[in-house]
A and B are shown apart, each in its own frame.
Chain A
Amino acid sequence: MAQIFHRSTNTISRATIFGSVLIVAALFWAGDEIQRSPYVTYAGVVRPQPVPFSHQHHVAGLGIDCRYCHTSVETSKFAGIPPTKTCMNCHSQIWTNAALLEPVRESFRSNKSLLWTRVNDLPDFVYFDHSIHINKGVGCNTCHGPVDRMPLMYNDASLQMEWCLNCHRAPEKNLRPRDQVFNMRYEQPSSYKPLELDGKVFIDQDSLGLYLIKQYKLRTEHDITSCSTCHR
Chain B
Amino acid sequence: MKTDESSHTERREEVCPGKKGKLGLETARAKIAETKGPEFWRSLEELAGSEEFQEMLHREFPKGASEWLDAVSRRGFLKLMGASLALAGMTGCTKQPLEPIVPYVKQPEEVIPGRPMFYATTMTLGGYGSPLLVESHLGRPTKIEGNKEHPASLGGTDIFSQASILGLYDPDRSQTIAYLGDVYSWASFLQALRVPLSVQKTLQGAGIRVLTQTSSSPTLADQFRQFQKMFPAAKWHVYEPVNRDNALAGAQMAYGQPVETQYKLENADVILSLDADFLYAGFPGFTRYTHDFAMRRNPDGNMNRLYAVECTPTSTGAKADHRLPLRAVEIERFASALASAVGVNLGGALPSGETWEFFNALVTDLTTHHGSSVVIVGDHQTPVVHALAHAMNQALGNVGRTVVYTDPVDANPINQTESLKDLVTEMHAGQVDMLFILGGNPAYDAPADFGFADALKKTKIALRVHLGLYQNETADLCQWHVNEAHYLEAWGDARAYDGTVSIVQPLIAPLYSGKSCHEFMALLLGQADASGYDLVRAYWQRQRADADFEMWWRRALHDGWIAGTAFAPKPVALKTTNLSPPAGADSGGIEINFRQDPSIWDGQFSNNGWLQELPKPMTKITWDNPVLVGPKMADRLGLKTEDVIDLELRGKKVSAPVWVQAGHPDNSVTVFLGYGRRRAGRAGTGIGFDMYPLRTGAMPWFITGLKIAKTGGTYKLASTQGYQTMDTPEGARALVRTASLNEYREEPGFARAGQPAAEETLYPPLEGFDYKSKPYAWGMAIDMNACTGCNNCILACQSENNIPVVGKEQCVKGRHMHWIRVDAYYQGDRDNPKAYFQPVPCMQCENAPCEVVCPVGATVHSSEGLNDMVYNRCVGTRYCSNNCPYKVRRFNFLRFQDWETPQLKMMRNPDVTVRSRGVMEKCTYCVQRINQHRIDAEREDSKIADGDLQTACQQSCPANAIVFGNINDPDSRVSKLKAHSRNYGLLADLNTRPRTTYLAEVRNLNPELQEKSEPR
Question: Which A39-86 residues sit within 8 Å CB-CB of chain B?
Answer: 39-40, 42, 47, 71-72, 75-78, 80-85
The answer to the question of A222 belonging to the interface, with a C-beta cut-off of 8 Å to chain B, is yes
The answer to the question of B98 belonging to the interface, with a C-beta cut-off of 8 Å to chain A, is yes
Closest to B857 in A: A227
Stretch at the interface among B401-409, B826-834, B923-931: B923-931
**B93 contacts A31, C-beta separation under 8 Å:** yes
User: B946 → chain A, closest Cβ, in Å?
Assistant: 20
**Set of chain B residues within 8 Å of A188, measured between Cβ atoms:** none
The answer to the question of B5 belonging to the interface, with a C-beta cut-off of 8 Å to chain A, is no
User: B779 → chain A, closest Cβ, in Å?
Assistant: 16
Stretch at the interface among A2-10, A111-119, A142-150, A205-213: A111-119
The answer to the question of A223 belonging to the interface, with a C-beta cut-off of 8 Å to chain B, is yes
The answer to the question of A232 belonging to the interface, with a C-beta cut-off of 8 Å to chain B, is yes
Chain B residues packing against A (C-beta within 8 Å): 92-93, 95-96, 98-107, 112-115, 768, 774, 860-864, 866, 868, 870-873, 911-914, 924, 927-928, 930-931, 935, 938-939, 941
In the complex, A77→B871 CA distance in Å? 21
Take A35-B93, A113-B104, A223-B863 as given contacts and tell me if A75 and B115 are in contact as well, using a CB distance cutoff of 8 Å.
Answer: yes
Question: Which A72-131 residues sit within 8 Å CB-CB of chain B?
Answer: 72, 75-78, 80-85, 107-108, 111-118, 121, 123-125, 127, 129, 131
**Set of chain B residues within 8 Å of A116, measured between Cβ atoms:** 100-103
**B768 contacts A117, C-beta separation under 8 Å:** no
The answer to the question of A229 belonging to the interface, with a C-beta cut-off of 8 Å to chain B, is yes
The answer to the question of A183 belonging to the interface, with a C-beta cut-off of 8 Å to chain B, is no
Take A78-B113, A123-B96 as given contacts and tell me if A228 and B927 are in contact as well, using a CB distance cutoff of 8 Å.
Answer: yes
**Set of chain A residues within 8 Å of B95, measured between Cβ atoms:** 39-40
The answer to the question of A12 belonging to the interface, with a C-beta cut-off of 8 Å to chain B, is no
**A40 contacts B93, C-beta separation under 8 Å:** yes
Point out the residue from A35, A71, A107, A135 that lies within 8 Å of B92, measured CB to CB: A35
User: B272 → chain A, closest Cβ, in Å?
Assistant: 47
Interface size class of A (residues with CB under 8 A): 35 or more
**A108 contacts B105, C-beta separation under 8 Å:** yes
In the complex, A118→B106 CA distance in Å? 20
**A227 contacts B863, C-beta separation under 8 Å:** no
In the complex, A231→B919 CA distance in Å? 14
In the complex, A228→B872 CA distance in Å? 12
Take A72-B114, A75-B115, A76-B114 as given contacts and tell me if A47 and B103 are in contact as well, using a CB distance cutoff of 8 Å.
Answer: no
In the complex, A28→B941 CA distance in Å? 47
**Set of chain A residues within 8 Å of B935, measured between Cβ atoms:** 77, 129, 131-132
Closest to B911 in A: A127
User: B768 → chain A, closest Cβ, in Å?
Assistant: 6
**Set of chain A residues within 8 Å of B941, measured between Cβ atoms:** 217
**B928 contacts A113, C-beta separation under 8 Å:** no
Take A47-B98, A77-B114 as given contacts and tell me if A85 and B939 are in contact as well, using a CB distance cutoff of 8 Å.
Answer: no
User: A155 → chain B, closest Cβ, in Å?
Assistant: 11
Q: How many A-B residue pairs have CB under 8 A?
A: 138
In the complex, A80→B114 CA distance in Å? 8
Choose among A107, A127, A217 the residue with the greatest number of B CB atoms under 10 Å from its CB: A127
Chain B interface, DSSP helix/strand/loop, else mixed = loop
Point out the residue from B768, B913, B930, B938 that lies within 8 Å of A124, measured CB to CB: B913
Closest to A134 in B: B939
Point out the residue from B92, B99, B103 that lies within 8 Å of A84, measured CB to CB: B103
**A83 contacts B106, C-beta separation under 8 Å:** yes
| Pairs across A and B, CB under 8 Å, 6 listed | A34-B93, A72-B114, A112-B105, A115-B101, A125-B871, A231-B870
**B103 contacts A83, C-beta separation under 8 Å:** yes
**B98 contacts A232, C-beta separation under 8 Å:** no
Choose among A31, A117, A222, A231 the residue with the greatest number of B CB atoms under 10 Å from its CB: A231
User: B306 → chain A, closest Cβ, in Å?
Assistant: 40
User: A112 → chain B, closest Cβ, in Å?
Assistant: 7
Point out the residue from B100, B866, B931 that lies within 8 Å of A127, measured CB to CB: B931
In the complex, A155→B938 CA distance in Å? 28
**B112 contacts A231, C-beta separation under 8 Å:** no
Choose among B99, B104, B866, B872 the residue with the greatest number of A CB atoms under 10 Å from its CB: B104
The answer to the question of A16 belonging to the interface, with a C-beta cut-off of 8 Å to chain B, is no
User: A71 → chain B, closest Cβ, in Å?
Assistant: 8
User: A39 → chain B, closest Cβ, in Å?
Assistant: 8
Closest to A48 in B: B98
User: B507 → chain A, closest Cβ, in Å?
Assistant: 20
In the complex, A118→B100 CA distance in Å? 6
**B93 contacts A117, C-beta separation under 8 Å:** no
**A118 contacts B103, C-beta separation under 8 Å:** no
**B938 contacts A135, C-beta separation under 8 Å:** yes
The answer to the question of A191 belonging to the interface, with a C-beta cut-off of 8 Å to chain B, is no
User: A195 → chain B, closest Cβ, in Å?
Assistant: 22
**Set of chain B residues within 8 Å of A112, measured between Cβ atoms:** 105
User: B216 → chain A, closest Cβ, in Å?
Assistant: 39
Closest to B928 in A: A232
**A231 contacts B872, C-beta separation under 8 Å:** yes
User: B967 → chain A, closest Cβ, in Å?
Assistant: 17
**B105 contacts A127, C-beta separation under 8 Å:** no
In the complex, A124→B104 CA distance in Å? 22
**B938 contacts A132, C-beta separation under 8 Å:** yes
The answer to the question of A166 belonging to the interface, with a C-beta cut-off of 8 Å to chain B, is no
User: A184 → chain B, closest Cβ, in Å?
Assistant: 22
The answer to the question of A220 belonging to the interface, with a C-beta cut-off of 8 Å to chain B, is yes
**B98 contacts A229, C-beta separation under 8 Å:** no
Take A31-B93, A135-B938 as given contacts and tell me if A228 and B105 are in contact as well, using a CB distance cutoff of 8 Å.
Answer: no
**B101 contacts A118, C-beta separation under 8 Å:** yes
Question: Top 8 closest A-B pairs, CB basis?
Answer: A78-B114, A76-B114, A226-B862, A83-B104, A81-B103, A83-B107, A228-B868, A227-B868
**Set of chain B residues within 8 Å of A226, measured between Cβ atoms:** 860-864, 866, 868
